[in-house]
């Protein structure tokens, strides 16, 4: 599958002068709840109302969605407000019911995207549909797996495709419910610049207070839209209460978000940008050179260790290096998360170099 301009067609058909907004509750709970939220969303930038009908939950015993009846409530919401409607599908039965209810946008959840079997079943059930089908990233940060799912749908002749970035599971504590790993979405965008890319800030954040910042980052990275979990009484929501915001908060947020253009034309802007990019090129060059020098020193240490029969991994020393650099990083405006990741990558490379020296006699 290669990038195609026509991937953008369905998005352009919305004729929006702002990013696409998909909003609505994590789960449809009651008819009254769905209709109340729909009417409140009608007065915002929202074009599509979302609601989970079947909810994949980590543990059994939690609320697992209202099922088919929720589709009737969504249909009613569509009839009363003119909003398009969206829900998650995870198997052929869901797909059949959603198509029968004339759901406009169907998305495949992160827990389904991980399984090529599930994705293939859904692709087969959706074959040739003109509905919009969005694929959430798999729970694990695996770009080929994400792309593979999109390709399966593309092969099933589904024309209106897009992706949703909802962040990735991690064992480490990061301050996010699901780590954004922005680089992965940027890599996907580089390969498929015309495939609409929607952000799901709710699942990345896990809590309300950082949703705005996550959305702004995505808009700065040219995302095409946002899908935000929205509830008229978020604290009383039956699922994911902490990450839902009110339709009023959503309206305020979309007003405050800055939409930046991908390209600027003014000559002055171009000149200044070129100057700043030239400065970045110089610094990047220095970073790579210095890293090369550091690795050469590592090789020397490797040779010394070999002679003295000392192990490569020196945890105590490494933790000292890490602590010192995290603190220096903070003085230089670099987050602990970034410095730790950066140094871990250096350490791995260092170990690989020494391994070459000790095992393969490189030096």
Ligand X SMILES: O=C(O)C(=O)C[C@]1(C(=O)O)C=C[C@@H](O)C=C1
- Residues engaged in binding ligand X (CB under 6 A): 298, 301, 313-314, 317-318, 321, 347, 350-351, 354
SS3 content of the chain, % helix, strand, coil (to 5): 55, 10, 35
| Residue number with CB closer to ligand X (239 or 354) | 354
How many whole angstroms separate alpha carbon 342 and alpha carbon 46? 39
Q: Which structure tokens are listed for 74?
A: 């969504």
Distance, CA of 162 to CA of 7 (rounded, Å) = 8
Of 155, 156, 227, the C-alpha closest to 196 is 227
Residue closer to ligand X by CB (options 79, 310) is 310
* Least separation in angstroms between CB 141 and ligand X: 25
- 8 A C-beta contact, residue 88 and residue 53: yes
Burial string for 62-85 (b: 16+ CB within 10 Å, else e) reads eeebbeeebbebbeebbeebebbb
Of residues 112 and 354, the one with the C-beta less far from ligand X: 354
Q: Angle 116-126/143-155 helices, nearest 10 degrees? A: 20
Q: For residues 301 and 326, which CB has a smaller minimum distance to ligand X in the complex?
A: 301
- Which residue lies nearer to ligand X by CB, 64 or 299? 299
Nearest to 336 by CA among 344, 271, 264, 216: 344
Closest CA to 13 of 84, 77, 79, 74: 84
| Closest distance of CB 108 from ligand X, Å | 42
Residue 321 Cβ vs ligand X, minimum distance, rounded to whole Å: 5
Question: With respect to ligand X, which residue has the nearer C-beta, 26 or 357?
Answer: 357
For residue 52, the cross-strand partners are: 27
Please report how close the Cβ of residue 323 comes to ligand X at its closest, in angstroms. 13
Q: Give residue 6's Cα distance to chain centre.
A: 22
Query: Which residue has its beta carbon closest to ligand X?
Result: 350
We find the least distance from the C-beta atom of residue 301 to ligand X, in angstroms, to be: 4
Nearer to ligand X by C-beta: 220 or 300? 300
Q: At what angle do helices 247-256 and 31-41 cross, to 10 degrees?
A: 30
Judged by CB, which is closer to ligand X: 269, or 338? 338
Q: Is the dihedral of CA 83, 89, 95, 101 positive or negative?
A: negative
CB of 340 to ligand X, least distance (A): 14
Smallest gap from residue 336 Cβ to ligand X (A)? 18
CB of 341 vs ligand X, minimal distance in Å? 15
């Amino acid at each position: 599958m290669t990038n195609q301009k026509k991937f953008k067609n369905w998005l352009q058909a919305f004729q929006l002068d702002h990013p696409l907004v998909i909003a609505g509750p994590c789960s449809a709970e009651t008819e009254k709840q769905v209709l109340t939220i729909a009417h409140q969303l009608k007065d915002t930038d929202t074009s599509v109302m979302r609601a989970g009908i079947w909810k994949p939950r980590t543990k059994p015993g939690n609320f697992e969605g209202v099922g088919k009846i929720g589709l009737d409530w969504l249909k009613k919401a569509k009839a009363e407000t003119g909003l398009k409607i969206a829900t998650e599908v995870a198997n052929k039965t869901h797909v059949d019911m959603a198509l029968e209810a004339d759901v406009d946008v169907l998305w495949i959840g992160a827990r389904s995207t991980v399984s090529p079997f599930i994705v293939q079943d859904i692709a087969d059930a959706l074959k040739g549909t003109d509905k919009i089908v969005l694929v959430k990233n798999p729970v694990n940060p695996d770009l080929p797996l994400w792309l593979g799912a999109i390709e399966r749908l593309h092969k099933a002749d589904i024309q209106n495709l897009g992706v949703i970035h909802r962040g990735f599971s991690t064992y480490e504590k990061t301050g996010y419910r699901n780590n954004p790993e922005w680089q992965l979405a940027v890599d996907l965008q580089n390969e498929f610049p015309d495939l609409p890319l929607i952000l799901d800030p709710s699942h990345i954040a896990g809590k309300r207070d950082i949703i705005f910042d996550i959305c702004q980052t995505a808009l700065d990275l040219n995302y095409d839209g946002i899908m935000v979990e929205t509830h008229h009484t978020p604290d009383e929501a039956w699922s994911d209460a902490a990450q839902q915001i009110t339709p009023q908060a959503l309206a305020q947020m979309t007003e405050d978000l800055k939409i930046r253009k991908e390209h600027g034309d003014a000559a002055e802007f171009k000149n200044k940008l070129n100057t700043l990019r030239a400065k970045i090129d110089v610094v990047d060059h220095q970073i790579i050179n210095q890293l090369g020098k550091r690795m050469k020193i590592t090789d020397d240490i490797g040779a010394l260790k070999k002679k003295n029969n000392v192990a490569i991994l020196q945890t105590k020393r490494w933790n000292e290096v890490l602590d010192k650099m995290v603190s220096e990083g903070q003085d230089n405006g670099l987050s602990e998360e970034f410095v730790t990741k950066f140094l871990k990558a250096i350490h791995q490379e260092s170990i690989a170099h020494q391994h070459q020296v000790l095992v393969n006699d490189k030096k």
